[in-house]
Structure 1
Amino acid sequence: MTTTRNTVLEAWMKEHGYSSNRLAEAVNTAIEQLTGRPGGHDGSSVRDWKSGRVRWPKEVTRRALEIVTGLPAAELGFVPRGRAQSAPAPQQEDPDMKRRNLVGGIAAAAAAAAAPGTAPRRIGMSDVDRLQARFADIIASDHRHGGQLGIEQRAAALADEALNLQNSGSATQRVRSRLYACAASFRSSAMWAAIDGRRYEDAQRHMREAQALAEMSGDQAIKFRIWSHAGTMYRHLGRPGDALAANDVARNLNLTRRDPLFASLGLARQAAIHGAAHDRSSTRRAFDQAQDAMDRADPETPRPVWLVAFYDQAELNSLALSAYLALGEYPTAEAHAHQCLSALRPYMARSRAIATTRLAHAQLAQGDADAAVASAMKVPASAATQHARVSRMLQEFGAALRATAHGSPVVQTWTEHTAAWRTSA
């Protein structure tokens, strides 16, 4: 059989500076995040992908590639078995249609399970594993796009699917607990998408449902995620007292005493809340403690995919950037912005847009309008026009720029740039 080179993957690697060995290492790390065991790929594996000798990697490898690149396998030039190489790339499915199809499928499955004369279905860990694989897809979509209504709706529908499984057959208590944990995970992702999209009433509705599901699951990791998200939501709403109370629920779970990485995230988010409340000494103390906990965390400890997919030194610096910007310590904020941007993983598109926008604010506040506009112009048009938090921060940036640099040529440059964004939106 003749093979066709995967020029799409080759182009992506060249654009992002990946050698075969480096991409193999990144994929192995992502596989470990997904499965708890490192992958076994090396440079020759990647060369097989590029040459076309392997046209459709195994499922876990495809999911790992999506985490690393932020793109589905088909958009990296891979071709599913049985499909011709020249087949066009699938069109993006409308989120509403996808949710209708999903809910329809759930209803059909439930009806089949309840049909008279049929043996009850046995629900097992394979069903849980299937849902967890789809949870990893939700996480990947969030890091690429963030805050989108389609992500929120898809996550909520998958939470419903997990709950429907509870009633579609028999299962052990262990499996039922894991299904509740899956439903809580999906609902917490719907909550986060709503927070990120500034749809706070929807976020609070998802939060209440996620909290109830998490209690039924007994899963401390997902409880931590939900309460930590609640702290972030209240911080964005300008309610630091409620934010600290919610974040304290997360930080007081036994999990944070067993795993320093959870403790570090709780402390870093606490520091960001202190920054929003203009408490300088508490902000610095909490960030010092967060850094110390991160330094003590064992990288070999198995952790949930949602945590390892985003929380690292770059995220800690991103939270510090937010806090010191709120405190008005602009040189410190700018330093954290550069540290964050230099360490962000390639697929963290949403986080990069937020950090870049905050960097522009920090530079403008120091009187460097040229550098600030140059930074702000690096934000992709898609994030500037479709991500609610980024869009609002850029509007505030434009207002501050016009107030501080009125009549300057750089204001005209920014005005023309944002006009081009509106045209392309």
Structure 2
Amino acid sequence: MEPARNEALEAWMREHGYSSNSLAEAVNTTLASLTGKHGGLDGSSVRDWKAGRVRWPKSATRAALEQLTGLPAADLGFVPRGQTSQPPVPPQEDPMKRRLFVSGVTSAALTAASPASSAPRSIGMSDIERLQQRFADVVASDHRHGGQLGIEQKASALADAALALQESGNATQRVRSYLYGCAAAFRSSAMWAAIDGRRFDEAIQHMREAQALAEMAGDGAIKFRIWSHAGAMYRHMGRPTQALAANNVARQLHINRRDPMFASLGLARQMAILGAAGDHTAARRAYDEAQGAMDRADPDEYRPVWLNAFYDQAELDSLALSAYMSLRDYEKAEYHAYRCLSGLRSHMRRSKAITTARLARSQLEQGASESATRTAMSVSIDAATQHPRVALMLRDFGVRINDIVPGSTAADTWTEYAQATWGTTLA
């Protein structure tokens, strides 16, 4: 008799955009944070779960799954030994319910924080842990999709939910500091989603709220994130002087001296800003210093989930790519693009699309129009149509190829492809 498929797990994976390989990688990473040892799961392990061949994973794996998903293993369709049936598969979410999610986040938090009893509720670390898991979900969603208004709204609502907990009961000063830190983290994610979506007025508003919350939390890591995001925001707005000033605030925080990985990220973003400012020598020096700091960093040092989720050698090369594109040094830009793509983790879908679009442009500017066109056409349609930064890059590519090689086979191929794919030349 064939084992029953784990339809609940399959439904959760579809909802959250996981393949078998990417879920295995995410569980391995979570295992490392829980146990200090990276897991050995691969795509075949997850396929065994989905097919029902493994009905009750090992305890450490279950703990990692539960932390990653925020759900008990039984709700994910796993069946404890000794039981014979799975729980019913949760119904697919109605689109209207999805639209109502954001507005319901804060009210749900308030409801949970307002028991029928008149006795004040005690707020503890379990509340913090639940918020931190939601923050991990927001970070993961950002790296998969990026720049979406829904991500910005969800992060904003969760920041409000964290603040609502402050008013809902009794807590120690330590717990209250953590709550402010959670609210600042969510608000900084809303800020980044707005930056990535080119909604700069909203990003500035999120930045100001996040800065105030981070001060109340006294959290150096989240202060770094906010000011570092501010530097990136001003760079994207074409204001390099303000970008350097904001990034310098991040780089002067004590956490840079405590952990070279923070210092490396600050220097890497400084490099991208210096590239935008046209300072080739300073940008190259910043890259060397960023690489040196990364090489000195202890890989076993505890770091926040948002930093672990994206900053590595691939991201350093991505920022170098950005710098050299600004400096019109397209040969070095192409070199760093290939290095970045070879090291990108599977969940970094937004970064892959951005890097590929920049690679296409660097090839085009070096005269390799046919290779550039093939590269540009390899950008996923979802990213090209739904991510504002990627769409802008491809529109610029369409304009530039018709400037450089008008009427060529490459230009005609791109125009036909863009018209057939998006109903526009993106020019």
- TM-score range for the pair, normalised by the shorter chain length: 0.7 to 0.9
Is the contact made by 1:95 and 1:154 (CA closer than 8 Å) also made in structure 2?
no
Q: Where do residues 320-399 of structure 1 align in structure 2 (5 Å cutoff)?
A: 320-399=320-399
- The CA deviation at 1:52 is 1.6
**2:153 matches 1:160:** no
- Seen in structure 2, the aligned counterparts of structure 1 residues 396 and 62 have a Cα distance that, compared at 3 Å, is farther
Offset at residue 100 of structure 1 (A): 1.9
Q: Identity of aligned pairs, percent?
A: 58
Instruction: Note if contact 1:207-1:226 (Cα within 8 Å) is conserved in structure 2.
Output: yes
Q: Are the equivalent residues in 2 in contact too, given 1:124–1:171 (CA < 8 A)?
A: yes
Matching residue within 44, 69, 79 for 2:77: 79
Structure 1 residues 91 and 359, CA gap change in structure 2 (3 angstroms): farther
Distance change >3 Å, CA 26–CA 422, structure 1 → 2 = closer
Pairing 1:60–2:54 present:
no
Q: In structure 2, give the amino acid aligned to 1:60.
A: A
Partner secondary structure for residue 407 of structure 2: coil
**1:28 shift after superposition:** 2.5
**Structure 1-normalised TM-score?**
0.87
Distance 1:56 1:95, change over 3 A: farther
Cα-to-partner distance string for 1:383-412 (whole Å, 9 max, x where unaligned): 111111111111111000111111112222
Any conservation in 1 of the 2:110–2:161 contact (CA below 8 Å)?
Answer: no
Tell me the equivalent position of 1:124. 124
Residue of structure 2 in register with 1:69 after alignment: none
Residues 92 and 133 (structure 1), Cα distance of their counterparts in 2 relative to 1, 3 Å cut: farther
1:24-423 correspondence runs (5 A): 27-33=27-33, 35=34, 37-38=36-37, 49=49, 51-55=51-55, 58=62, 60-61=64-65, 64=68, 79=77, 82-84=86-88, 89-90=92-93, 96-109=99-112, 112=114, 118-423=118-423
Aligned equivalents of 2:408, 2:45: Cα separation in 1 = 54
Q: Is the alpha carbon distance of 1:359 and 1:91 closer, same or farther for their aligned partners in structure 2, counting shifts above 3 Å?
A: farther
Using the TM superposition, name which of 45-54 and 185-194 deviates more.
Answer: 45-54
Measured in 2, the distance between the counterparts of 1:379 and 1:150 equals: 22
Return 5+ residue gaps in structure 1 as ranges: 67-71
Contact 1:144 1:347 in 2 (8 A): yes
Taking CA–CA contacts closer than 8 Å with sequence separation of 6 or more, which of the two structures ends up with the larger relative contact order? 1
- 8 Å contact from structure 1 (residues 36, 302) kept in 2: no
Question: Offset at 1:414?
Answer: 1.0
Q: Determine the C-alpha separation between the residues in 2 that align with 1:373 and 1:315.
A: 24
2-structure distance, mates of 1:16, 1:124: 35
Q: Which amino acid aligns with 1:153?
A: Q
Residues 412 and 40 of structure 1: is their aligned pair in 2 closer, same or farther, counting only changes over 3 Å?
Answer: closer
8 Å contact kept, 1:28–1:40: yes
Task: Give the C-alpha shift of residue 46 in structure 1.
Answer: 5.2
Task: Give 1:29 deviation, angstroms.
Answer: 2.8
TM superposition shift of 1:413: 1.4
In structure 2, relative to structure 1, the CA distance for the partners of 1:176 and 1:100 (3 Å cut) is same
Q: What CA distance in whole angstroms lies between the structure 2 residues aligned with 1:158 and 1:56?
A: 32
Assess, with a 3 A threshold, how the Cα gap between structure 1 residues 210 and 63 changes in structure 2: closer, same or farther.
same
For structure 2, list consecutive stretches of 5 or more residues without a partner in the other structure. 80-85
2-side partners of 1:368 and 1:17: how far apart? Answer: 36
Question: Kindly tell me: are residues 51 and 307 of structure 1, through their superposed partners in 2, closer, same or farther at Cα, counting changes over 3 Å?
Answer: same
CA contact (8 A) 2:359 2:375 kept: yes
Q: Using the alignment, how far apart are the partners of 1:388 and 1:90 within structure 2?
A: 27
- Cα RMSD of the aligned pairs, angstroms, is 3.1
Measured against aligned partners, the alpha-carbon deviations of 1:191-232 in whole angstroms (never above 9, x if no partner) come to 000000000000000000000000000010000000000000
SS state of the match for residue 346, structure 1?
Answer: coil
